[in-house]
Copies of this chain bind each other. A is one copy, B any other.
Amino acid sequence: MTAMTRGGPPAKDSVEVDMNDGTGQREQERPRVVILGAGFAGLSAALALAREPVDVVIVDRQNYHLFQPLLYQVATAALSPADIAAPIRGIVGRFENCSVLLDTIDEIDREAREVRTAGGRRVGYDHLIVATGATHNYFGNDHWREVAPGLKRIEDATELRRRILMAFELAEMEEDPDVRDALMTFVVVGGGPTGVEMAGALAELARYTLARDFRHIRPEGTRVVLVDANDRLLRMFPERLSENAAQALTKIGVELVMNRRVDGMDHHCVSLGDRRINTRTVIWSAGVTASDAGKWLGVETDRAGRVPVDPFLRLEGDPRVHVIGDVASHTSPSGKVTPGLAPAAKQMGRYVARAIRRQARGKPVGAAFRYRDFGQLATIGRHSAICDFGRFTVSGYPGWWLWGGAHIYFLIGFRNRLAVAANWFWSYLTFGRGIRLITGDIGAKGPGQG
């Protein structure tokens, strides 16, 4: 593997990228670690390898790390996108051995130990860490994607914010009571943490923030319907906490529709078997599927598209390739499946970084990966959250404070922590949400055509 210097002759179809030095040959003793994806898993790995005797190249299609668990607050106008996103270069820029490539993955040549990108770049690796995460799963109904955006990217959240705020604006001007009711009905599909938090935040937005904004409609009368195919919300939590969550949601006016599966939707209604709900705004949080890593690596995936890994989070038979985070399918020796959650992703990132560090120093890899479950949190509107720490649980008001503190603590970057804390404090005091901006295409389309 030779590295190309800046002055060298450009290859015909593609260029080999040497991201770490401009001096010509790479030093053979510094292995290069290529990390695909700067989510929780990839970024944790990169930070754990900073200042170590390896070269790190992070490849991501976005220029920022996104704190996905708070995306629903962008969608409900409580936070700005920049509050929960931090530029990757800003995070790793101070580490001389880390560089960043903004590009999308085309394929991985494991024979040549090389990643090829849509931008025509070839990035050689000694160790590859695949951490490209997951996207929405519409279970074969891909035409639902346009009707019911999910919450994975900033663009999803600002689009949902636009749709939600626009629905109230259109309702305010609407003469037909049926259309007005449909505009003021919001359906959230999927009762996992995102669905529960989104439904709660939507009900609060209508009840507290928008209440005095309008003249004709009563935003307090907004219908928020949360649909789930199972018999309880938040299945990963203990049953008692699911019950707490259901009570808290009902209390702030969310309608729960359990044991029902969505079998059709368009821009006017959602159908659940024989039941139809007229609505103009549907939010999808019913399922995720892994990114295309299985295809790039040329391996079989599980039903959710995830790549099976060995106890050391490596690809079976290819110890140079690690797969971590939501895209990995890992089962502990005791048979427990590691969940697709931020804490698991971060632990995986740190684990593979340590394994690579040990190898770089000529030591054995060490013990197999073990996920340590420190607990789970979810919030339901103002003054209510549920926290499960295995041996004990916290809910209601103290749970809510715990949830807020934990989320601020885990945000990347002091600036983001400050911004989120300030925005929350402001909203708490005033019941207001400052980020109620309808941006995007409305100028062109005109709201009258919605």
Given contacts A89-B214, A215-B19, contact A119 B446 (CB under 8 A): yes
Query: How far, in Å, is A168 (CB) from chain B's closest CB?
Result: 9
**Chain B residue at minimum C-beta to C-beta distance from A154:** B439
**Chain B residue at minimum C-beta to C-beta distance from A117:** B448
**A175 is an interface residue with CB less than 8 A from chain B:** yes
Inter-subunit contact A448/B118 (CB<8 Å): yes
Query: How far, in Å, is A27 (CB) from chain B's closest CB?
Result: 15
**Chain B residue at minimum C-beta to C-beta distance from A423:** B419
Work out how many copies of this chain go into the complex. Answer: 2
**Chain B residue at minimum C-beta to C-beta distance from A66:** B437
**A306 is an interface residue with CB less than 8 A from chain B:** no
Residues of B within 8 A of A442 (CB): 61-62, 102
Query: How far, in Å, is A435 (CB) from chain B's closest CB?
Result: 4
**Chain B residue at minimum C-beta to C-beta distance from A177:** B6
Inter-subunit contact A102/B169 (CB<8 Å): yes
One of A79-87, A261-269, A342-350 at the interface: A79-87
Inter-subunit contact A63/B438 (CB<8 Å): yes
Q: Which residues in A have some Cβ–Cβ distance to B below 8 Å? A: 4, 6, 8, 10, 15, 17, 19-20, 22, 61-64, 80-83, 85-87, 89-90, 93-94, 99, 101-104, 117-121, 153-155, 158, 165, 169, 173, 175-177, 210, 212-216, 413, 415-416, 418-419, 422, 426, 430, 432, 434-440, 442-443, 446-449
Given contacts A82-B437, A103-B448, 10 further A-B pairs with CB under 8 A are A4-B175, A61-B442, A64-B437, A80-B83, A82-B435, A87-B436, A87-B437, A90-B432, A119-B173, A119-B449
